[in-house]
Structure 1
Amino acid sequence: MKGVHLGIGIAAGVAAGALCVGVLAAVGDEEPAPPPTSPTTTAAQDTGPGAAPIASAPYLHLGWGRPPQPHKVMDATGITAFTLAFALSGGGCAPAFDGKRPLRGGPEAETAQAIKDAGGQVHVSFGGWSGRKLGPRCATPEAYAGAVQKVIDALAPTALDFDIENDDELGNAAVQDRILKALKIIKADNPDIALIITTSTDKKGLDKWGQRLLERAAALDAPVDNYTVMPFNFGGSSDMYADTVAAAENLKDRLMAVHGWDAATAYRMTGVSGMNGVSDDGEITTPQTWTRLRDWASARGLGRLSFWSVNRDRPCPSGGDPVTDCSGTEQHPWEFGKITAGFRQ
């Protein structure tokens, strides 16, 4: 994925000074979103692969983009879970948010508690496109699992998202295996936490490294609850609905081939994490397109639907920045969140 400007993980390079004031400041006088029509589904309806509480948890980043107060987004949309991004290396194998913010007593801990106080769930994402990743800096699976455990102990999330992309993790066979082996340790120590792998895709599906990731996860018996693709930054797309569906169908087919699952199971193990509004490559996912994709995902029984990011889920008034705090497409405030809240597994 060419996450040069908007892509997942880009904010890892943002200066820490941006967080000194108003990390949890409320969004200003924006028009309210229409009231939610249906609440999000936060747990699968059956058991077996993919039956974990991961359905709808869009990404919330506290490093830029006027991060909103989560309870206001929950009230406006029906969303009940958020994925806090990103846990990276704060030096060696020591985890820190964006590589600089503490696990305890910092913005993420405060936000996680606010989400829980409002009755929501907290997910945490590791990795992303840019910044210092833990995968290459933790020498063994045990060390990587230990770093992840520190985040679990600090925030008590219900799900973990391992956003494996870029050459330092996705394009490195040793690091891929290290992370996948660590997932077994993490799951053994935290059996109730759902584990998600998120990775990049082309219009036609996973590249050779993405295919290897799936194959090795199966070979190593990694306890993955959902595999999610990020269907954007295709190098340009004239039909984001068709290209997203094609990419997700490719992932489903790969999962069937690798694991021997039937179609229903493979769909349940498949997820889509889109980019609301304008992507790095100028592709545009409108609220109307996202609604169609949500309905397709619900009809097929996908296990996860997410987007990057909550910070950008609002229109761009004069002075708005689609890189960090608005979508660059016509919408109501928090409209993508409201649409996503209607997702059904």
Structure 2
Amino acid sequence: MSKLTTGRRLSWIRVLIVAVVLGALLVGGLYFWNIKKDTARAADSGEWYGSYVDATSTPFYPFADEVGKNERVVLAFVVADPKNPCSISWGGYYTPETANETFDLDRKVARVHERGGEIVISAGGLNNDELATACTDEEKIVAGYEGLLERYDSTTLDLDVEGNDLEDAVASKRRASAVAALQEKASAAGKPLEVWVTLPVDTRGLTESGLGEVDRLLDGGVGLAGVNLMTMNFGETRKADQSMAGAAEQAARSTHQQLIELYRKHGQEVGERTMWAKIGLTPMIGQNDLLGEVFTLKDAAELKGFATANGIGRISIWSANRDMDCGPNAADIERVSNNCSGTPQESREFARLLSTDMAEVSATKKPVVSPEPAPMETAIVDDPAKSPYPVWNSQAAYPKAERIVWRGNVYEAKWWTQAEAPDLPASDAGSAPWSLIGPVLPGDKPEPVATVPAGLYPAWSAKNVYEKGDLILFEKQLFEAKWWNQAQSPEAAIQGAGDSAWMRLSNSQVNDIVSKNKKASS
């Protein structure tokens, strides 16, 4: 007779099934937890839009006029001064000081901040040397960028590495070390520095040189906010029937996988969504450098959809200067222009299309600050002792290009005007007689009146006959005859009369003339 058991043993098959089920639940849970964490990290990155502005291209672009709240302006390009390789210059032409004197860069930047925008400093570019390429003194590289970021109140540095800079591995390591040191100093000062690297791509992704640049930046300890892709000039890697947007999307997908593998090599596991948030897209709007490659508004709409669907961290365009129709006077729109896109469009249409929702999303990522009580409205009284130009006077007449100060801002006359307040409301910007340049800056002082050495030019006389180009002095100011005249007082020119026979010379013109006379006599 058999003995009855009080319990039942599980077979090894049942144990195995239970283990498999529990393992699947654990793996599935970890998978979805990782996806959730990856999505959260991507959401915290803060997407943004910012047009590149070719700061030194003429006519100088009024980038402060229409920048939106939370938009960024990517100012290009800061490069090494050709005459002093460890010093900063704009485009190799202007020091920060002469950039302000020549095209009001400081004042335009201040205007961007007033409008709620941000400034990104873009360094490098195709045509000049980035600072770390030309300068071998790391401390001076750090100091150069640090001073520039402070001057323009910027917390974002965009390293545009292309051309010769991209092929110089020694300079690349120096750049990485300097930027890492710069980030460390910025963090210690409580003002973290966001760093992007902008690199050329084709539909296969980053080139070997581009991957090398990212590799060295990561190896050097740089905390990269992201890699911005120049989705332009694809050449033979773009299929004949492929749109420019399609080529850009293919380039982005290729780069996405490259970067995941590269970050993994550096011991950093970055999720799919987080990596998309570390990628930026910068198309060249309209006609690209290569004939037959035209990025249209349709391409922009398609690329914006792709960016939104994948959570792209940044969108830019090259460039704001070109975001307009070329008009009927363009001789050949198939040749790239610095001042228009070469494709039918409204002014700033690419920027409006691509920036939609980007600034709003970016704004939601910022810390919420308790609102402060609204300040009491007070009258702004201009202090002539601190104004770089005369304070506006309703009784005075102002000729074209004359500058004045009014209620804390600098304005420039578009044409002869009198008794029209600079901040008087106008139906549109085109009908206003004054252009707003930007605020009076801390440290501004009245511009000294240029003087002419005694006896250098004769005083005006009603009896004399003057030929075109003759120079005379009148009320301690230098005037040039516009045509033959006699007994026509320069007083009319002071009052801004357009039909005056005399043109009052500006301070810079007077200084140039005096300088040339000194050289001629020495």
- TM-score norm. by structure 1 comes to 0.80
Q: Which amino acid aligns with 2:252?
A: A
Q: 1:223 to 1:194 in 2, by over 3 A?
A: same
Structure 2 residue 207 is the aligned partner of structure 1 residue 207: yes
Deviations 1:40-76 (A, max 9, x none): xxxxxx985895666211101222253442343336x
Of 319-328 and 202-211, deviating more is 319-328
Q: Which amino acid aligns with 2:142?
A: A
Q: 1:182 to 1:93 in 2, by over 3 A?
A: same
Q: Hey, what does 2:175 align to over in structure 1?
A: 179
3-state secondary structure, aligned to 1:244: helix
Q: 1:52 to 1:224 in 2, by over 3 A?
A: same
**5 Å matches for 1:283-322?**
283-320=293-330, 322=336
Could you tell me how far apart the structure 1 residues matched to 2:66 and 2:234 are? 29
Q: 1:280 to 1:343 in 2, by over 3 A?
A: farther
3-state secondary structure, aligned to 1:189: helix
Q: 1:145 to 1:103 in 2, by over 3 A?
A: same
Deviations 1:13-41 (A, max 9, x none): xxxxxxxxxxxxxxxxxxxxxxxxxxxxx
2:183 and 2:222 in contact (8 A); partners too: no
2:176 and 2:222 in contact (8 A); partners too: yes
Q: Which amino acid aligns with 2:73?
A: F
The count of aligned residue pairs is 297
2:204 and 2:255 in contact (8 A); partners too: no
Q: Which amino acid aligns with 2:290?
A: D
Match 1:280 to one of 272, 275, 289: 289
Q: Hey, what does 1:60 align to over in structure 2?
A: 53
Could you tell me how far apart the structure 2 residues matched to 1:325 and 1:223 are? 35
Match 2:125 to one of 125, 128, 131: 128
Could you tell me how far apart the structure 2 residues matched to 1:54 and 1:138 are? 33
3-state secondary structure, aligned to 1:69: coil
Structure 2 residue 236 is the aligned partner of structure 1 residue 243: no
Could you tell me how far apart the structure 1 residues matched to 2:223 and 2:160 are? 15
Could you tell me how far apart the structure 1 residues matched to 2:342 and 2:221 are? 41
Q: 1:140 to 1:195 in 2, by over 3 A?
A: same
Q: Hey, what does 1:110 align to over in structure 2?
A: 107
Deviations 1:236-278 (A, max 9, x none): 6442112101111122111211223111111011111110101
Match 2:280 to one of 253, 271, 274: 271
Q: Which amino acid aligns with 2:253?
A: E
Could you tell me how far apart the structure 1 residues matched to 2:298 and 2:290 are? 20
Q: Which amino acid aligns with 2:281?
A: V
Q: Hey, what does 2:66 align to over in structure 1?
A: 73
User: What is the Cα deviation at residue 80 of structure 1?
Assistant: 2.3
Match 1:149 to one of 123, 141, 146: 146
3-state secondary structure, aligned to 1:162: strand
User: What is the Cα deviation at residue 100 of structure 1?
Assistant: 2.2
Bigger Rg, which one? 2
Could you tell me how far apart the structure 2 residues matched to 1:126 and 1:343 are? 27
3-state secondary structure, aligned to 2:49: coil
Q: Hey, what does 2:228 align to over in structure 1?
A: 228
User: What is the Cα deviation at residue 127 of structure 1?
Assistant: 0.2
Match 1:163 to one of 145, 160, 164: 160
Q: 1:71 to 1:212 in 2, by over 3 A?
A: closer
Q: Hey, what does 1:194 align to over in structure 2?
A: 194
Could you tell me how far apart the structure 2 residues matched to 1:294 and 1:198 are? 19
Of 192-201 and 97-106, deviating more is 97-106
User: What is the Cα deviation at residue 110 of structure 1?
Assistant: 2.4
Match 2:338 to one of 296, 302, 324: 324
2:122 and 2:159 in contact (8 A); partners too: yes
Unaligned runs of 5+ in 2: 1-38, 264-268, 362-522
User: What is the Cα deviation at residue 319 of structure 1?
Assistant: 2.9
Deviations 1:300-333 (A, max 9, x none): 0111110100000000112348411110001111
RMSD, matched Cα: 2.2
Q: Which amino acid aligns with 2:249?
A: V
Q: 1:278 to 1:65 in 2, by over 3 A?
A: farther
Q: Hey, what does 1:12 align to over in structure 2?
A: none
2:70 and 2:116 in contact (8 A); partners too: no
Q: 1:343 to 1:66 in 2, by over 3 A?
A: farther
Match 2:271 to one of 262, 269, 275: 262
Q: 1:49 to 1:129 in 2, by over 3 A?
A: farther
Could you tell me how far apart the structure 2 residues matched to 1:86 and 1:70 are? 14
2:55 and 2:77 in contact (8 A); partners too: no
Q: Hey, what does 1:87 align to over in structure 2?
A: 78
Q: 1:310 to 1:65 in 2, by over 3 A?
A: farther
- TM-score norm. by structure 2 comes to 0.54
**Percent of residue pairs identical:** 22
3-state secondary structure, aligned to 2:48: coil
1:84 and 1:122 in contact (8 A); partners too: yes
1:56 and 1:343 in contact (8 A); partners too: no
Of 292-301 and 182-191, deviating more is 182-191
